[in-house]
Structure 1
């Protein structure tokens, strides 16, 4: 055997050993297999409708999630950065250049914002009260119309149920990757009805959604990772004193 042939044989043997080791561990090294679904959870081989069903089921069964990105609805763009679970949620929402924080613990909802938010909400007529509310947690009464609007951003079931929907005829659109995780992409009406990247590693959680009609892009992460929900201190909490604005 020539030195060149011997070298090739050694490289082939080494590559095979590396591939075997990686497959036995956490995944498949690119180039080790011609099968893009080798070492995955197997959903990439399923029809698009079945993949969507499985990813919705996985999301519904999850204890928690971190959701971030843009949602366009009723002519408004909302930038979300929320951590959600059944007991509540915490995070921030930005709309029309104004940011506010949301904290829900059980049924109690708190809104936290700067004076600019409150001035805008009051039509620039309540600057004195706005300064008192600046940076404070404001309790939102459950009977207040604002409660339903703002609490929707903190309800994991409501958000996921409304977002994880593709419109039109479903199809798969190849294998991709999101933040280092291998995915299978499914589309509605060749993408015009939205696209969804589903994890091929572990449970088939949704990882990235492009909504139909340019209605925003959402990333999902930290599935099942718990986080703390702490009541704000009394010194950090105030009552608004009247019905909260819904604008």
Structure 2
């Protein structure tokens, strides 16, 4: 991603930077949000393999790539409610020229924030997404998506009527590809934790018991833990949260209602149907 004038370049090599690089190019708007704070990983240490007692799925005993593959496979066709934020950290203007902040002194403040709320399965879902000054509300059924958004969205996509109601577009249209990988939970997890993210995963400790047992998968950049992916240690290894933070930004994702009937409504306020 090309750095904007007067803005720091988002460096590669972290889960936060991967998400930011995927979407912050959409907007030049900056808005500090003091509610978005750094997250401390809940799991520490690598390689802590707990015994499998027969009731668990063994996700804590496999290597990182295998764990991610199994998680993505579990996510693929199940309904879910997924919400989250990705917040950019920028040098604190009060810290002089920002050099100390860029070197990791901690003199940073929240910058632009991506917020999303997703419900459903990939071919029957609703998505609300805010990227800086751009807002999107999408309702997908099969290969068709009814979208609406604000003026900034219309300017980015050329869908002028989307400011007055929903406009139908193809699921593979450039208007929606612009917002990848935030259009499905599987794509988002793959982008944040997959091979292109330059982070490593280290399945470790299991907490809780019975159906509430959770495995903590440490997310690391180099030798340093930067976050934790919490997945079910029983049945399918479905994710429940992802928390990560470093000098480039913070990521906070939550997943719930796996497999539930979410009762999505028909597209409303349609001004340009399929």
Q: What TM bracket, shorter-length normalisation? A: 0.5 to 0.7
Distance 1:140 1:191, change over 3 A: farther
| Residue number in structure 2 paired with 1:237 | 270
- The correspondence for 1:162, drawn from 174, 191, 196, is 191
Q: Is 2:75 the partner of 1:59? A: yes
Identify, as 1 or 2, the structure richer in helix.
1
Q: Is the contact made by 1:85 and 1:156 (CA closer than 8 Å) also made in structure 2? A: no
Residue 199 (structure 1) aligns with = 232
Aligned to 1:83: 119
Contact 1:41 1:203 survives alignment (8 Å): no
SS of the residue corresponding to residue 147 of structure 1 reads helix
- 1:181 matched to which residue of 2? 212
C-alpha separation in 1, matches of 2:153 and 2:118? 22
State the distance in 1 between where 2:187 and 2:242 align: 16
TM-score by length of 2: 0.54
Deviates more, 1:101-110 or 1:64-73: 64-73
1:70 partnered with 2:85: yes
Deviation of the 1:151 alpha carbon: 6.8
Q: 1:139 to 1:56 in 2, by over 3 A?
A: closer
CA distance in 2, matches of 1:155, 1:42: 25
Residue aligning to 2:141:
105
1:111-147 per-residue CA deviation (whole Å, 9 max, x = no partner) reads 234xxx22x4567xxxxx88x944x223336686323
CA RMSD in angstroms comes to 3.9
Aligned to 2:34: none
CA distance in 1, matches of 2:203, 2:180: 34
Asked which structure has the greater RCO (Cα within 8 Å, sep 6+), the reply is: 2
8 Å Cα contact 1:210-1:216 kept in structure 2: yes
- Which residues of structure 1 form unaligned runs of 5+? 1-34, 124-128, 241-247
* 1:222 and 2:237 aligned: no
Query: Matched residue of 1:202: which SS?
Result: coil
Aligned to 2:56: 41
- 3-state DSSP of counterpart to 1:162: helix
CA distance in 1, matches of 2:170, 2:72: 32
Cα-to-partner distance string for 1:68-107 (whole Å, 9 max, x where unaligned): 111358x853211101313231031123265432111112
Residue in structure 1 matching 2:243, options 204, 210, 231: 210
- Please identify the structure whose Cα radius of gyration is greater: 1
